[in-house]
Chain A
Amino acid sequence: MTAAIEASGLGKKYGRRWALSDCTLSVPVGRVVGLVGPNGAGKTTLLSLATGMLEPTTGTIRVLGGAPGSGPRQLARVGYVAQDTPTYAGLSVADHLRLGAHMNPGWDADLAARRISQLGLVPNQKAGTLSGGQRAQLALTLAIAKRPELLILDEPIASLDPLARREFLQVLMETTAESQVSVIMSSHLVADLERITDYLVVLMGSRVQLAGEVDQLLDSHRLLTGARRDPGALPPSQHVVTESHTDRQSTILVRSDEPVLDPTWTVSQIDLEDLVLAYMGLARTEAAGHAAPATTKILEEKR
């Protein structure tokens, strides 16, 4: 089965700054993938490379087995809602649907019309006068009605109010439920993605820090709390992600596929947001060259 996105050693340099470097990634099809990372982590760069809006400086990227943006066929297979959900301010909602119909051979006019009426958008209204949420919905409609195999959404809800966010995600969930479309959606907030994603990619400091099935990631991470000790004493199957120590107590986040058997630890589950934050904190320390304990503070404060 071909991957939705298959990247190898992918990098993009702007002038002397690497916006994305050494990105190796394989995202399976049929998933709703969350791409998380702070602002400036390279999310938009990665998604732009996946749509062919940018050319990589190093490495390769294949999307659904093809070169991104390589021709009308490839373009038809990928729907893209760019950051800030651009539309033509001077064109009406109906004009946007006409644009979609003229420029996409696989255009589903019924679907588009149905979505517009469900959303309560007025066909004659100019896109420039729509609210942010309505504009995002219009952009999503255009991307969905071309019937893509992969839908790429770049921070589509970052600028929306909570109600518009919920509506947007609702529509997205309905779409994935009724068709086989794969989705990759980026956000700098884990909370936005938690409800709908089943696969997670954490991007930080222009590198992939973590990637995998959400369930698997949650299952394989354990937070261990107990009397203070040296993390070096842990069994080799338990990989230390972060650690923090007080005078008497140690808190260690471990990654392990085996259960933790040592009864002197209090073992607890970690939720997605804390997991992501732990990896982001880790990356930040590595980048800054700080000692490890500084990282864990982030995790502790969060808890």
Chain B
Amino acid sequence: MIWLTWRQFRWQAITSAAVLAVLAIVLGVTGPGLVTRYDQIGLPSCQSTCTALAGKFISELEFGTYGKLFYAGLVVMYLVPALIGIFWGAPLISREFETGSFRLAWNQSVTRTRWVLAKLSLIGLAAVVAAGLLSLAITWWASPIEQALSDGPPGAHFLPLSPLVFGARGVAPLGYAAFAFVLGVTAGVLIRRTVPAMAVTLVIFAGLQILMPVVVRPHLIPPVHATAPFNANTADDFVINSPQNGPATMTLVGNYSVPGAWVLSNQTITPSGRVFHGPPARVCMSNSAPPNACGNWVNSLHLRQLLTYQPQGRFWPLQGAETGIYLILAAGLGALCTWRIRRRA
């Protein structure tokens, strides 16, 4: 079975290896330049100027080639599992159904169960290895940028826990690749036609990739809540909305933040714990009131800022949990696939 699996997978394997090699060359050629720039700017030996230097490093890269490569790296990391699902997974068995060759394969002295398990495990392993190597290479390449982002001025985007970066780093792509592959195979087994199976694979995988960070990931570990007194003088956002008809409302956002955290919600609450929406006092609506009057009134309410977040230190536990979920889903689909192949023809 190993021979047949390899023989049928050979061209896909060679093509994919070639694509990975090209990516590795691009990263290998540009990576050292990035490290050199990081060193030149003085970041490895900085003492008190680290934040400023990191900020300088980031703003210098942002719109240049390295910045584009950084974004491209994110895109590639999301694309690879989807492509594995579509081009490795979906055709794997649906093509056998389309050409009728499954009837040849299933009548050799190898049971269907072994036939499908060999394909799932060997090519599934290849998918995980490919995603792993790519994740490793891109993580290595991007490490100076990521170091600078976390050392730089607060409020930076593209920190490791931010939804977009999270799925393109660490072990999560391995779980995605395994899942996307088995999803493709299962779609092929159930639909029995290659092109529709590819489309279904793409739709389901993309849907899950969107659903996961929005609905599931925030709750993989119960998030941390923190409160701080709200100070109107340092607020990030201070908006009064007075519509033509209906009562006026107030939206306040405090400046309290936790470095490196993934903020899930940032609310301003009253001492009794309700979310504050106003109504604003008369001084806030009047143009003739003294400049600080509205702020003083807000401060007199003793509002608090409630921050719900996943702290920086949870990157790896969250990675583990998410990868685990995808691997369990992959195993479940693999079992469904095997059961279906055993039962039917």
B4 within 8 A of A: yes
- How would residues 1 to 40 of chain B score, 1 for a CB under 8 Å from any chain A CB and 0 otherwise? 1011001100000000000000000000000000000000
Q: B103-111, B271-279, B317-325, B329-337: which lies at the A interface?
A: B103-111
A84 pairs with B109, CB closer than 8 A: no
A102 within 8 A of B: yes
A201 within 8 A of B: no
A105 proximity list for chain B (CB < 8 A): 109
A299 within 8 A of B: no
B1 pairs with A102, CB closer than 8 A: yes
- How would residues 234 to 249 of chain B score, 1 for a CB under 8 Å from any chain A CB and 0 otherwise? 0000000000000000
Q: A49-57, A185-193, A244-252, A282-290: which lies at the B interface?
A: A49-57
In chain A, what residue has the closest Cβ to B3?
A102
A103 pairs with B108, CB closer than 8 A: yes
> Looking at A75, A87, A105, A142, which has the most chain B CB atoms within 10 Å of its CB?
A75
- Number of A-B residue pairs at CB separation under 8 A: 75
- How would residues 91 to 106 of chain A score, 1 for a CB under 8 Å from any chain B CB and 0 otherwise? 1000100111011111
B345 within 8 A of A: yes
B109 pairs with A82, CB closer than 8 A: no
B100 within 8 A of A: yes
B109 pairs with A75, CB closer than 8 A: yes
B109 pairs with A76, CB closer than 8 A: yes
A80 pairs with B103, CB closer than 8 A: yes
Task: Report B71 CB to chain A, min CB distance, Å.
Answer: 38
CA distance A259 to B3 in the complex (A): 62
Which among A51, A76, A103 is the interface contact of B1 at CB below 8 angstroms? A103
A86 within 8 A of B: yes
A53 pairs with B103, CB closer than 8 A: yes
B100 proximity list for chain A (CB < 8 A): 82, 84, 86
B114 proximity list for chain A (CB < 8 A): 72
In chain B, what residue has the closest Cβ to A51?
B107
CA distance A150 to B45 in the complex (A): 79
Count of chain A residues near B, Cβ 8 A: 35
Give the residues from 73 to 107 in chain B that come closer than 8 angstroms, CB to CB, to chain A: 99-104, 106-107
In chain A, what residue has the closest Cβ to B109?
A76
Task: Report B106 CB to chain A, min CB distance, Å.
Answer: 7
A78 within 8 A of B: yes
B104 pairs with A71, CB closer than 8 A: no
CA distance A87 to B101 in the complex (A): 6
Residues of A in contact with B (beta carbons under 8 Å apart): 48, 51, 53-55, 69, 71-73, 75-76, 78-80, 82, 84, 86-91, 95, 98-100, 102-106, 139, 142-143, 146
Cβ contacts A to B, 21 pairs, < 8 Å: A51-B107, A53-B106, A55-B343, A71-B111, A72-B109, A72-B110, A72-B114, A75-B109, A79-B107, A82-B103, A86-B99, A86-B100, A88-B99, A90-B8, A91-B7, A99-B108, A100-B108, A102-B1, A103-B110, A105-B109, A106-B109
Please give 17 more A-B residue pairs, beta carbons under 8 A apart, in addition to A53-B103, A95-B7, A99-B3.
A53-B345, A55-B343, A72-B110, A75-B109, A78-B107, A86-B99, A86-B101, A86-B102, A86-B104, A88-B99, A100-B108, A102-B3, A103-B1, A103-B109, A142-B104, A146-B108, A146-B109
Residues of B in contact with A (beta carbons under 8 Å apart): 1, 3-4, 7-8, 99-104, 106-112, 114, 343-345
